[in-house]
Amino acid sequence: MNLIYTRTKTIQEDKVSGFCPGCMHSTVIKLIGEVIEELNVVDKTCCITGIGCCGLHMDYIAYDTITAPHGRACAVATGIKRTNPESLVFTYQGDGDLAAIGLAETLSAANRGENFTVIFVNNGIYGMTGGQMAPTTLIGMKASTAPAGRNAKEHGYPMHMCELMNVLTAPYYLVRTSCNTPANVTRTKNAIKQAFKNQLEGKGFSMVEIVTSCPTNWGMDALSALDFIQDKMLAEFPLGVIRDKSKEAD
Amino acid sequence: METNLCVAGFGGQGIMTLGKFLADTVCHRTEKNVTFFPSYGAEQRGGTANCYVVISDGKIGAPLGEVMDELIIMNEPSLKKFLKTLKSGGTLFLNNSLINCEVEREDITLIEIPATQMALEIGNIKVLNIVMLGVYIGYTGILSEEAVWKTIEENLSRKASLLPLNKKAYEAGLAYGRERRGK
Amino acid sequence: MTRIFMKGCEAIAEAAVRAGCRFFAGYPITPQNEIPEYFARRMPEVGGVFIQGESEIASVNMVYGAASSGTRAMTSSSSCGISLKSEGISYAASARIPMVYCNVQRGGPGVGAIQPAQQDYFQATKAGGNGGFRMMVFAPSTVQEAIDLTYGAFDYADRDRNPVLILADGVIGTMMEPVSLPEMKPESEIEAIKQSKLKWACVGHELDYPNRSWIEPGHWNTADMQKANEEALKVYEAWEVNDVKVEEYMIDDAEVVLSAYGISGRIAAAAVDKLRAAGIKAGLIRPITVSPFPYSSYDKIDYKKCKGILSIEMSIPAQFAEDVKSAVKERCLVSTCLCSGGNIMSEQAVIDGVKKIMEGRV
């Protein structure tokens, strides 16, 4: 019999994930682990974990990790990567961490063209703290701190991080994917692999923004959340490569 | 024996350089203790600039005392600000090219120097501070004249073309200071 | 030893480089700008990294990252900038990451004044961030002492896996004095120090679950969190026994004892000499580590002879005096001599304060 699929060794077998049913963090963590194994770089991987639900994976991944203060993952990653350039360094951050409290650190690292990778999990809401409004919350979407729903007049509009970074000169690769369909899961894995390869080749800053769900705080079941991604989230956050310098003419 | 000196004037008059050359000479060419303390404001340009130099045979406490033994004053606002800090019997070195007002103290020694005018006659207003440094050394003899010149020379080594001008300024200052001491 | 003439801030930076510091991140704020500026020039010469961060917060977190990779790393700031850094310092203390930082104190609170002050004493010694952690805090009173303490600070940080603070002030940072510099640690030694941390450093490990690096500034499990705090306490308690540094100057026969740290300590020392010359038997206790505080030095005072203690600091209200009072334990009068907001301690005010004690006017 041919073995065509097996669990990634980068996730510890005896540990239980702390994620809610239908949460896509598990999917993304699995994809990252598979890429790390396929690139054969487990022994040089450092994950800088943000604060919030994205920190729930630390217990069961098998590679090096450090928790950054809320929003500061890109600053911590800068310190690690500059002093150990041969390591594979990536941040793993949610929308509140990366786009609200950490906006300065995120954009400044992108602007310096730091040679590490940002994995940005965007589900439009604060998860661990209980469904508060995020910079990426959709107009009309209810949050515990916007009980009548986000309105543009009071809260402004959802923030598009890939597009914001696209006005900077330094970033090398900016891409937005999702995990709502098997095809998109595959595209996400390819994007992560591309971003890691860029780093290993010293190309500079890459960010993979992954549009995901939060069934618990969205107040819906997992399947409805998939529809919500397709119908609402992707209408606001269109998928695709926003920048890929490898494809640009010299 | 401890000497507390304050040097004060406009930003751009070379106040800090004058103080540093003095202190640097003490550090490298004597066994004495020395501190240099710049007084800094928020402005990058203009305003008053001043620094304190303490030269001592013993340990130095505050790098800026409340009572000065000597003052080098380059402009009028500084005179108003610092004259009251000079001890009774202290010495005031005053650039009278830029200061017209009366010095209202009888209990001090006043050395007036047309330093800006001397610098202009030598050929560059920028050597004003070196003229003053020369006068101070020529008058007080607190450091050897050669030792201070060596410091100036070393610090200007990257701008060697400026050395003749500075030499002229320093020597003019020394001569002026020596002459005043002789009186 | 060759004497060279150096400014406090630059001397601190050079001492760090010689101690093997190979990463510095900082952000501009007066009066400590010469520290980042010096590193910006110096780091490329020694193969180190200098980054001007986008904020104090980013800078301290870059240092947290660099130190987590095993590199000797440092940041600096002044007063209100140190408040911003307290987040990263607390994380480093919780995760037990060795790092060194310097506070060139200025007036406060708030943006305060750009001139020198000693108004961050409680923040430095009692609460450098949330959570009640402690640090070794060194308070230099001369540029030479700033060099020696900074050079040694990296060893303490590595030994304890804890942040260490150099508590300077705007006078020490901006004044120049003759100094001699310690030897430059050879590259082989610096590399060996880094290698010695690889077991826990976050740089990548073979796939081996229990032995991967997991740098945790917190724990999901409350029992684990308590255990971590108990482990840290053991480290803090050992300082009290082994690492107290203090200058005790002529306290044996003292009728009056002055106590001060940092720049005020040096001004008090000069006042003691003047008082002795005037026939007043004055002495001085100058803590060099303000954490751990040299409480036992105050037990050496002959309280039958001593009329009072004058606690001197550039802070209103007084902060350092609280530790002095704890050490004196009401065995005699403790009065204070204070200034604040960017004003520098006056030697005459110190002498007047002593005379008041001697004349029973306090």
Q: CB–CB of C65 and A77 under 8 A?
A: yes
Element (DSSP H or E) covering residue B65: none
The CA distance from A88 to A91, in Å, is: 10
Q: Is the Cβ of C57 closer than 8 Å to some Cβ of chain A? A: yes
Assigned CATH class of C4-195: alpha beta
Q: How far from C180 is each of C9, C147, C242, C262, CA to CA, in Å? A: 15, 9, 27, 19
- Retrieve residue A47's tokens: 């994950």
Nearest to A50 by CA among A12, A90, A88, A22: A90
Residues 110-129 of B with CB under 8 A from C: none
In chain C, pLDDT over 70 holds for what percent of residues?
Answer: 100
Specify whether the CB–CB gap between A52 and A129 falls below 8 A: yes
pLDDT at A248: 86
- Output the six-digit token pair for C245: 């540094």
Number of domains in chain B: 1
- What type of residue sits at position B72? I
Q: Residue B65's pLDDT is what? A: 86
How far is it, in rounded angstroms, from Cα C297 to Cα C326?
Answer: 12
pLDDT on residue C224:
96
In a mutational test of the C interface, the residue from B37, B50, B51, B59 whose CB has the highest number of chain C CBs within 10 Å is B37
Q: Are strands C246-249 and C282-287 parallel, antiparallel or unpaired?
A: antiparallel
φ, ψ of residue C227 to 5 degrees: the values are -60, -40
pLDDT at A14: 84
Residue C139 in tokens: 């308070």
Residue C102, both tokens: 């310097």
Looking at CATH, the fold of the domain delimited by C246-358 is given as Rossmann fold (3.40.50)
Mean of per-residue pLDDT scores for chain C: 97
ipTM of this complex prediction, to 2 decimal places: 0.97
Which helix or strand (DSSP H or E) is residue C272 part of?
helix C262-277
DSSP assignment of C151-182 equals: HHHHHHHHHHTSEEEEEEEHHHHH-EEEE-PP
pLDDT of residue B105: 93
Residue B38 has pLDDT above 70, yes or no: yes
Mean pLDDT, to the nearest integer, of B2-23?
A: 95
Long-range contacts of C352-358 (CB under 8 A, 24+ apart): C353/C310, C353/C312, C354/C256, C354/C258, C354/C271, C354/C275, C354/C280, C354/C282, C354/C310, C355/C280, C357/C256, C357/C307, C357/C308, C357/C310, C357/C333, C358/C255, C358/C256, C358/C280, C358/C307
Residue range A233-249: average pLDDT? 95
Is C49 an interface residue toward A (CB < 8 Å)? Answer: yes
The per-residue pLDDT for B99 is 87
Q: Do B42 and C271 touch (CB under 8 A)?
A: no
For residue C266, CA distances in Å to C6, C97, C346 come to 18, 33, 11
**CA-based nearest residue in chain A for residue C50:** A82
Mean pLDDT throughout C301-321? 98
* Chain C residues 179-218 within an 8 A CB cutoff of chain A: 202-209, 212-218
State how far the Cα of C16 lies from the Cα of C100, in Å rounded to an integer: 9
**What is residue B183's predicted lDDT score, i.e. its pLDDT?**
67
Q: Distance, in angstroms, between C82 CA and closest chain A CA? A: 16
The domain that contains B8 carries what CATH number?
Answer: 3.40.920.10
Q: What's the pLDDT score for residue C300? A: 98
Collapsing DSSP states into helix, strand and coil, what is residue C129?
coil
C217 to A67: CB separation less than 8 angstroms, yes or no? yes
Q: DSSP letter string over B91-145?
A: EEEEETTS--S----SSSEEEEE-HHHHHHHHT-GGGHHHHHHHHHHHHH-SS-H
- φ/ψ of A117, rounded to 5, equals -120, 135
User: DSSP character for A70?
Assistant: T
With tokens 């240092």, the residue in question is C63
Say if residues C87 and C60 touch (Cβ distance below 8 Å).
yes
Per-residue pLDDT tens digits for A29-72? 999 999 999 999 999 999 999 999 999 988 889 999 999 999 99
Q: Is C5 on the interface with A (CB under 8 A)?
A: no
Work out the average pLDDT over B160-182: 96
Question: Peptide bond preceding C292: is omega within 30 degrees of 0, i.e. cis?
Answer: yes
Subunits with at least 3 CB pairs below 8 A relative to chain C? A, B
CB contact B105 to C (< 8 Å): no
**Alpha-carbon gap, residue C89 to C98, rounded angstroms:** 10
| pLDDT for A250 | 58
Partner C contacted by B40 (CB < 8 A): yes
> Do C4-195 and C246-358 show the same overall fold?
yes
**Distance from C189 to chain B by nearest Cα, in Å?**
32
Q: How confident is the model at residue A13 (pLDDT cuts 50, 70, 90)?
A: confident
Residues C290 and C137: beta-carbon distance below 8 Å: yes
* A46 interaction partners in chain C (CB closer than 8 Å): 69, 202-204, 213
Q: According to the model, what pLDDT value does residue B134 have?
A: 98
CB C328 within 8 A of CB C322: no
Mean pLDDT of C41-47: 98
Q: Which of B38-52, B82-96, C76-90, C155-169 has the lowest mean pLDDT?
A: B38-52
- Which residue of A76, A92, A128, A199 is the best one to mutate when testing the C interface, meaning the one whose CB has the most C CBs within 10 A? A76
Which of C5, C114, C268 is nearest residue B23 as measured by Cβ atoms? C5
- Each domain of chain C, given as residue ranges in start order, spans 4-195, 246-358
Residues of chain A positioned with their CB less than 8 A from the CB of C131: none
Closest CA to C207 of A31, A35, A42: A42
Q: What are phi and psi of A22, to 5 degrees?
A: 85, -5
Q: B76-104 pLDDT, tens per residue?
A: 999 999 999 999 999 999 999 988 888 98
pLDDT (average), residues C328-354 = 96
Given a contact as 3+ CB pairs under 8 Å, which chains touch A?
A: C
- Nearest Cα residue in chain A from C75: A79
Q: Does C221 touch chain A (CB under 8 A)?
A: no
Is C51 in contact with A9 (Cβ distance < 8 A)? Answer: no
How would DSSP label each residue in C98-123?
A: -EEEEEEEEE-STT-EEEE----HHH
- Chain C residues in contact with A106 by the CB 8 A cut-off are none
Tokens of residue C257, six digits: 């004892």
Looking at residue B31, its pLDDT comes to 95
Determine the pLDDT at residue C286: 98
B64 contacts C344? CB cut-off 8 A: yes
Contact call for B66 and C271, based on CB within 8 A = no
Cis preceding linkage at A238, omega within 30: no
Most C CBs within 10 A among B30, B40, B55, hence the mutation to make, goes to B40
pLDDT digits (tens, 9 = 90+) for A124-163: 999 999 999 999 999 999 999 999 999 999 999 999 999 9
- CATH homologous superfamily of A25-244: Thiamin diphosphate (ThDP)-binding fold, Pyr/PP domains (3.40.50.970)
Q: How far apart (Å, rounded) are the C-alpha atoms in residues C88 and A4?
A: 45
- Contact criterion met (CB < 8 Å) for A79 and C22: no
Q: Measured between alpha carbons, how far is residue C285 from residues C120, C310, C332 in Å? A: 20, 10, 15
Of C103, C65, C69, C67, give the one whose Cα is nearest residue C86.
C103
The answer, for C99 touching chain A at a CB cutoff of 8 Å, is no
Domain that holds residue B136: 2-182
- A and C make contact (3+ CB pairs below 8 Å): yes
C331 beta partners: none
C176/B59 touch (CB, cutoff 8 Å), yes or no: no
